[in-house]
Every structure is written in structure tokens, then in C-alpha cells.
Structure 1
Amino acid sequence: MTSLPVLDIGPFLADESTAAASEFVEQLRDTLHGPGFCYLVGSGVDPERESAVMDVARRFFAQPDELRLRIVNTNTPHFRGYTRLGMEHTNGVSDWRDQIDIGPEHEPVDPGPDDPTWLRVRGPNQWPDSVPSMQPTVTGWMDEMATVGAAVLRAIALGLGQPADYFEPTTTPHPEVLVKIIRYPAQDEHTDTGQGVGLHNDSGLLSFIMQDDVGGLQVQIGDELVDATPMPGALILNIGEMLQIATDGYLRATKHRVESPPPGRERISVAYFYNPAMEATFEQIPLPTELAGAARGAENERPGDVIFANYGDNWLKFRVRSHPDVAAIHHPDLVGTFD
């Protein structure tokens, strides 16, 4: 495979009962069983809103450090806000990107001794006063993307022989979405590791990527790395490890990475992750016989790395691993717990 498949969700969004919608369901199932990545077109998300999100992202990253650091993620225990260059890690190696993490707005919680540990990370976002249009622009886009995320999950359920609303209990009372607004600057030629973000699997349910016109995203198909070349009007769609485990490997969380851009360029992308509610426990999906026979096993490649059935526990694990500086300041008792 030298390029990713292109799937049109438009007919499914228009009417799930049509033959065209059924064709999309089959294409999606086969794609997520095979390469695990695709271009998704026909999402119905307002192109002007997408452009506005990219615009506020560029305005934020164009600011001096002083303004960006006003919302640095070490300000709070909630893993929200601005991550400085090189301060997020993949496979223990520093990624050369900076970003803003945004999620659902919550009041902070002071967990009691019998409450789940993941409640510590529930709280408010940090928004930049210096780019006041970012909050309404991004939250408006998130609202539109929630519709797309719910529709894709319905299509996956149908493709796996389940009722369309099969996953709704796992996203109740609300899905735990995460938006990452990411900049990948070029690296200095003398210290260039090439790693914008290292090779990894996503951890939750669904991932959507909106890219600018600078390439760099690569998907591992077999032994090859396939470029996910930017396509105007298309989102990149892939799944995370929780769907892989729940289908015993019938659906695959495919590894991918981002290469740093060439000198003189920078890459902007916006990732939207549609995940179970923190409270949800994700159970095995009872696959039809013909699909179960094609499942390849969901064993984790990292010995001893437990994938928890409860999503909040997984979320906490990946946050602590990825942002050791936040963990050291606000959650010192958890440092090293998930290594």
C-alpha cells in the first residue's frame, strides 16, 4: 500500500438506512481491520470553521514565549494548557513539538480516599487571553467534531454486527474528548533527531487529524512507512488500543509517527480524540463468527504494560507518562507508577 484509502461518510450522515450508508459501513470496517488509517471526507464540518481553528493556532504559536507560557500546563494538575517544546515524551524520548491540550470543561474535584485516582485530572481548560477568539472558535469546532465522532462510532458498531447505539453507554454521560493544537517546528540541523512525535499507537477509541499543507505524518503499514500526504477537505481517521483490545485485534490500532518539517517550515495540525467517558468500563465486543475468526489477538507489544478496562485509569496512565513535568509537580506519588 502506497497511500491511504479515502472514505466518504456523507451518505451515512445523511441517512443510515441507505445502500450507500451500508457501503460506507463495510468500507470502514475493512479499513480499520486492514491499514487502520484512512482519509475521511464528507464530514459536514464547516470548512470556514476549520480554517478559523488553523488561524487561531498560528496566531497563538506566533506569540513570544512570555505570552504562551501564561497557560503552561504545569500551572494546574489537569494536564491542560500549553506544553513547551520538547516537554512531551513518546517511548521515553522527547518529541519536538509544542501544543495546547483542551478537553471538556469541568469544575476541579478534590477526590476522597474512596474515589478513583483519575478524578484528579478532571478540571477546567486554560485559554490564552492574548488570543481571545481561540475559545469560541475551538469549542465550536469541537461541537461539530462530536457529531462526526458519534457517527463513526455508530458505523463501527454496525460493521461489527452490533446495534448502531451499541457504544452509547461507554460515552455516557459524555465522551472524554481531547483536542491537541500542535506545532512542529523545524529542528536545528546539528541536533535534528527527526522526531516530531515518535512511533506510537493511540490509546482510546477514535482519532481525527486536521492537517495543514506541510506533510510529515507517516503510518506503518506492514514494514513500510506510508506518508499521509495532506488532502484538502479530508480528515485523517484512525482508532486506538481500546477498540483493538475490545475486538481481540480484529480492528487494529496502527502505529504512526510525525517527522519534523524541513528547515524554514513548520507544521500545524489539530488532533481530536473521541474517547469513552472516564467512568466507562470497556468490555469485549461479541463479534459475529466470521469476524471473530479473523481476529488476530490484541496482545500488547510492551510486556507488563497493562491496558486498563476503565478509561479513566488509562487516561491517567498516559497523561503521567507523556507529561512527566506536570506529574512531578502535581502528582509526585504517581511518578514511575506506570513505567
Structure 2
Amino acid sequence: MDEHPAVPILDISEYHDPATKDRFVEALRNACHHVGFLYLTGHGVDHRLNTAVTDVSRDFFAKPASVKREIAMVNSPHFRGYTPVGGEMTGGRADVREEIDLGPERPASHDTDRPWRRLQGPNQWPTSVPDFEPIMTRWAQDMDRLGRTLLDALAEGLEIDSDHFRNWVTPDPEATIKAIRYPAPVEGQKPQGVGTHRDFGLLTFVLQDAVGGLQVERADGDYIDVPHLPGSFVVNLGEMLQVATHGYYKATVHRVVSPPVGVERFSTIYFFNPRLDATLNPVDLPEHLATGARGGASDDPNNPILDTYGDNILKVRLRAHPDVAELHHADLLHTTTR
């Protein structure tokens, strides 16, 4: 296991080699227990595909505002589509970025008994960039494979049956993609790229450019940079995995600072999340690991981590996108706590 500014670098191709598999599993367990962030290389996702993902994102964000607003998220009760700069909130403050959110293509649900079913529905694809849909769809398929492999390795690291985690994403995870542009600040501005937060699902894969800005909180409260490492994804764990492992696996606080003056930044994120109806039954850790479990519950009384993924993600979405919440889900606003 190599080191890169306190964030481990792991080569997942070692997991597929019987001679190195155990070493990889142990290194992964240690990284997810102590740091909660890592660089993943040897992942098998074609570099040309990753480049195409970034290229179509750049093409979309270069379009006039009027074109981008054609697929505005506020039109979608499923929280899909384009959000302009300042349209998403983290920690009660507006993030200075624009983005497009994508999810599994499904028919819209009108289940009133389980409000999180409202998250199911179709995407809004940008017809102004014809290659956007096929490239993002192909990328999602490759990232799904990678997410399932890494989830199996995480289960092995805890010495539990891999089905314990697989059941949360079978048959289909609620995986989402977020393509992001951070605009170039002007002199004197110190905007919030993305405020401090933990991710809320299982696994997050970040494809970032060379500009930098992602920062991770250390145990002492200071932040360290997670710079671009060519050929890698940055991977971090979400709250649901922390809860299910009693805090043995760590969902680490992180943020994104805006790029330098005159420079814009692009990233594309793949969130490998459980099914909406999945209730994450806690893991029975072996005794020698259980002694290192910190407890997975949230330390913020205003931000409880809910057991069912649909409840957890709906809570997050309602707070992050108040315009969508007010227009489409006003009846739910009094029930959310995040």
C-alpha cells in the first residue's frame, strides 16, 4: 500500500490475483477503518471512457444558460437534471457550482405510503449534447461493476459473507451520477465549492481533473488536500456503511474549496448506493474487529442517520434542493431533519 498525502493508494487489480488478494483486502480494510478515503487504481474502467465523460460534461456546461435550463432540476420531482450555481445547499449555505444529476431510468412512482418512492423516475437528458446519454449510460454500467467488486472486498475485510452487503444492492442499486463544474472565482472571492459534509450512501467514486480542491478532515480537525492522481478514482465511504459496521468503516467529513482565481474545475461523481427500500441490517463483527468499532450513529442531533436508505436520501435531497422540495414535495417538508 503506497501513500499519497495521507490518503492510501490501492490497486484493485490485486484483488483478482490469488497471490495478492489477501494483501489488498487487508489494505482496503485498514484504509476504510482509519481514513475513509483512498485512491483506487487498476480499476479497469477505460481511460478513453473517463475522458469522454469529462468531455461531454464540459460540452454541456459550455452551453448558454437558456439551453441548460431546458432540463432544470426544478422541473423534476425526482431530483434529476440541471442545477445552476448556488442552487444546491450544503450545511445551510449555497454551493458555488453547477451540476447535472442523473439516476436509474425508471417509471415515475406515485406511492403515497412510502414517500421515498417519489425519487424514482426518468432522467432529463441534455439533447444539446447528443453523446451525453450514451456515454454516461455506459460509464454507469462500468462503475456498477466496480462498485459491486469493491463492496465484496469490503465484506471480506470484515470476515463476513459477501451476501450481507450484496443484498443491499440486489437486484439494482439506487446509483446516481453528478457531473459538476466549479466556476472560476474572481479576485477577492472565497466561495464555498461544497461545504463540509459526509456522503450518505455506500461508496462514492470521484473522477476529478487536475485542478484540485477536494479536502478531507483529519482526526485533529485539520484538512488535507486530495489532489488529482492520474488513472485513479478517489473513493470514500458513506454514512450507511458507517452505521451498518458500527463505525468500524468510516464516513469521513470532507469539502471542496473553490478553484484558484481564473480557473474552473470539473469532476464527475458516481454514488454507489443501496436500493431505496434497503434496510441496512448491522454487521456482526468478529471480536478482534469489534473492539475497534467507534459506533456509527451521527453525532449531530439535527442529522440522524436513518436505517432505510430511501428515508435517508430523501431527507438529504429535500434539504439540498429547497426549490424542488417546495414545488413538488411541500407536504414532506415538516418531516425532514436535514
TM range, normalised to the smaller chain? over 0.9
* Within-5 A mapping of 1:51-200: 51-112=51-112, 115-190=113-188, 192-200=189-197
Aligned-partner Cα distance in 1 for 2:93–2:114: 29
Residues 189-215 of structure 1 show CA distances to partners (whole Å, capped at 9, x for unaligned) of: 34x243100011001100000001110
Q: Deviations over 1:282-339 (max 9, x none)?
A: 0110000011001112231211422111111111111101101100100011224323
- 1:274 — aligned with what? 272
Asked whether the equivalents of residues 5 and 226 of structure 2 are also in contact (C-alpha less than 8 Å), the reply is no
Of the structure 1 ranges 295-304 and 102-111, higher mean CA displacement relative to structure 2 is found in 295-304
Aligned to 2:326: 328
- Comparing 161-170 with 59-68, greater Cα deviation is found at 161-170
Hey, which bits of structure 1, 4+ residues long, moved more than 6 A? none
Using the TM superposition, give the Cα deviation of residue 60 of structure 1 relative to its aligned residue in structure 2, in angstroms: 0.4
Taking the TM superposition and a 5 Å limit, the aligned residue runs for 1:194-209 are 194-209=191-206
Which residue number in structure 2 is paired with residue 237 of structure 1? 235
Q: Percent identity?
A: 48
SS at match of 2:85: coil
The SS at the match of 1:99 is: strand
CA RMSD of aligned residues (A): 1.2
Q: Distance in 1 between matches of 2:253 and 2:25?
A: 23
Number of aligned residue pairs: 333
- Say if 2:297 and 2:304, in contact at 8 Å, map to a contact too: no
CA distance in 2, matches of 1:99, 1:336: 27
CA distance in 2, matches of 1:119, 1:236: 30
Q: Secondary structure at the match of 2:283?
A: coil
Range with bigger deviation, 58-67 or 302-311: 302-311
Show CA shifts across 1:160-181 (max 9, x none): 1112333111112211101000
State the Cα deviation string for residues 140-161 of structure 1 (Å, max 9, x = none).
0110010100000000000011
Structure 2 residues not aligned, in runs of 5+: none
Q: Which residue of 1 aligns with 2:296?
A: 298
Paired amino acid for 2:106: H
Distance 2:334 2:260 in 1: 35
Contact 1:244/1:252, CA 8 A, preserved across alignment: yes
The equivalent residue for 1:11 is: 14
**2:202–2:271 CA contact under 8 A, matched in 1:** yes
TM-score by length of 2: 0.96
**How far is the alpha carbon of 1:6 from its aligned partner?**
0.4
3-state secondary structure, aligned to 2:294: coil
Distance 1:231 1:85 in 2: 27
Match of 1:219 in 2: 216
The unaligned stretches of length 5 or more in structure 1 are none
Match of 2:252 among 246, 251, 254: 254
Aligned to 1:314: 312
Whether the 8 Å contact between 1:324 and 1:335 is mirrored in structure 2 is no
What is the distance in 2 between the residues matched to 1:187 and 1:336?
36
CA distance in 1, matches of 2:181, 2:94: 14
Q: Structure 1-normalised TM-score?
A: 0.96
Q: Distance in 2 between matches of 1:317 and 1:131?
A: 32
Secondary structure at the residue paired with 2:164? coil
